[in-house]
Each structure stands twice: as structure tokens, then as C-alpha cells.
Amino acid sequence: MPKLKNRPPQYRQAGKYACVYIGGKRIYLAGEYGSPESKAAYARLLAEIQASPTGIPLPNEDRKVTVSELAAEFLDHAKNSVNSTDYDHYRVALLDFLEKFYGDKFPVDDFKPRCLKLVREEMVTPQRF
């Protein structure tokens, strides 16, 4: 009779990033492989698995990530990983242009190529004061 596997997913490396595989699907953890951030994310995932009645944390399908939330997460990441000049360029692009059209309530899932085209056109249009 085969043994049943009831082990947590393994902490793995995908390129330079940390990940786990759940149900054959790769899930990236925050940060690079071996970093304190990725290890904390892995510990949080294991806690969610233990707390879940099914053993596998399922994403909340009702909750949609907004463009503002994604932009804030990106800026947090960029602040620690790029120089200050590049960070300022990212911040201007995100806050002045992207959030002007697709801010607080716009879901990331609905951000299509036409949306990016509108933002890009706004960036190259001379500003009239």
C-alpha cells in the first residue's frame, strides 16, 4: 500500500527567486532565494496551510487587486532595489500617469493593452498649463 504524502511544499529556487509548488503550480515567494523576506513568506505560507481546513490556502476569489495596490507594492520593492534616480522616475510614472487614469478602484485584471497605450500616450503628450 502506498504511503500518503502529507508534507508541506518545499522551499525551492526558481532562477534567483524563492518559490514553492502547490498542486503543480509555481507560487513565488517575496524576495530572492535565501533572503529573510522569502523565508518569512514561506513561514507565513506554512502557517496558512496549517490553519486551512483543506490544508491548501486558497486565494480569495472575491478580492481583486487594484492598480493602486500593485503600484504601491512595486514602489516598496523598487525603493530597496534601485538607485534613487530610477526610483524617482518610477514614482513619477506611477503616481502622475498610471494612477491618474487607473487608480483606487480599477482591478489589475481589467488593465488591458489599450489601458497601457492610453497611459503611454499621456506620458509623451506635452503638458499644457
pLDDT tens for each residue of the chain, 129 residues long:
555 567 788 999 988 888 888 877 788 887 789 988 889 888 888 888 777 766 665 555 455 778 877 877 788 888 888 888 888 888 887 877 787 788 777 888 888 888 888 888 888 887 665
Q: How far apart are CA 122 and CA 115, in angstroms?
A: 11
Flag whether 5 is in a domain. Answer: no
pLDDT at 67: 80
Q: Of 59, 98, 94, whose CA–CA distance to 78 is shortest?
A: 94
Is residue 76 located within the same domain as residue 113?
yes
The reply to whether 38 falls in a domain is: yes
Q: Do the beta carbons of residue 129 and residue 88 sit within 8 Å?
A: no
**Is there a domain that residue 56 lies in?**
no
- Give the pLDDT confidence score for residue 60 in this predicted structure: 52
Question: Based on the number of CB atoms within 10 Å of its own CB, is 42 exposed (0-12), middle (13-18) or buried (19 or more)?
Answer: buried
For residue 55, what pLDDT is reported?
A: 62
Q: Within this chain, do residues 75 and 114 fall inside the same structural domain, yes or no? A: yes
pLDDT of 11 reads 93
Number of domains in the chain: 2
Distance of alpha carbon 120 from alpha carbon 116, whole angstroms:
6
72 and 47, same structural domain?
no
Residue 74 lies inside a defined structural domain of this protein? yes
| 118 in the same domain as 73 | yes
One domain, residues 100 and 71: yes
- Measured CA to CA, the distance from residue 27 to residue 33 in angstroms comes to 13
CA distance 129 to 124: 15
Helix (H, G, I), strand (E, B) or coil at 47: helix
pTM of the model: 0.47
Q: What is the pLDDT of residue 50?
A: 78
6 lies in some domain: no
> Are residues 76 and 119 both part of a single domain?
yes
Which residues form the domain of 17?
12-51
Task: Check if the beta carbon of residue 30 is closer than 8 Å to that of residue 39.
Answer: no
Residues 100, 72, single domain; the answer is yes
